[in-house]
Amino acid sequence: MPPRPRRGAWGRAVTAFGVALILAGLAVLGWFAWQYFGTNIVAKREQAQIKQTLKIDWGKGIDSDAIGLLRVKRFGNDFEVPIVKGTDGGALERGVGWDPKSGKPGQIGNFVIAGHRVTHGEPFAKFPKLKAGDKVVVETRTAIYTYRLRNAGTSVTVDFTTSWPLWDVPDPDGRGDVQTKPVLTMLTCSELFHTRNRSVVVADIVKTVKKTKANSKTPGDTKTPTKIKAD
């Protein structure tokens, strides 16, 4: 039997290149798996911890790091995520982010919140399912506010550079106008591949329930306290 030919430098280079491609492919797959699954697991675990801390703080009569809780029945009967201060990447990994330059929950002004549709807990994954007339509930330490959507989740799409959703009056013709009532604006944020488009819904407040020791409820309990004020 003739001796096998020795592999030359070219053969070794081809083999090394093939191994590198396989490793690169595995790395990419691992990155996608982490983004789509790993970040959701971590975010939901952290959100549960934030809600637990909020429960303890509210029980002591003090505000928590999270400014409140968001509930949207259209997203599921058990949907409840913390609303945290800020809309940067770190904040949006911990829940739904509140723009601190905007109004506060239940107060006159435009209360602006944003959330991920994919990765990091994906709280706004079902955003396209929103319908005009849907209710959005925001609970703080002192009150529970219910808003009604003006539009559906797919009816308004803007470029990420568009600023009117952040204005006091969230309307393309509302620049410089002064808000006279409490409104809520919800936006989807930058996604995995940093799409330019953002979906926007605007809602008007329809009910305010002030929490007292008699009607205060534990965060996570979906029972509604006695209504004592309607707007």
3-state SS track over 24-55: HHHHHHHHHHHHHHHHHHHHHHHHHHHHHHHH
Which among 91, 57, 84, 86 has a CA at the least distance from the CA of 69? 84
Instruction: Kindly name the residue from 51, 116, 117, 120 that is annotated as catalytic.
Output: 116
Instruction: Kindly name the residue from 189, 201, 202, 205 that is annotated as catalytic.
Output: 189
State phi, psi for 48 to the nearest 5 degrees.
-65, -40
State phi, psi for 197 to the nearest 5 degrees.
-85, 145
Known catalytic residue at 116 = yes
DSSP state of 69: E
Which among 116, 122, 118 has a CA at the least distance from the CA of 32? 118
Alpha helices, DSSP H only, in the chain? 9-33, 39-59, 89-92
State the catalytic residues. 116, 189
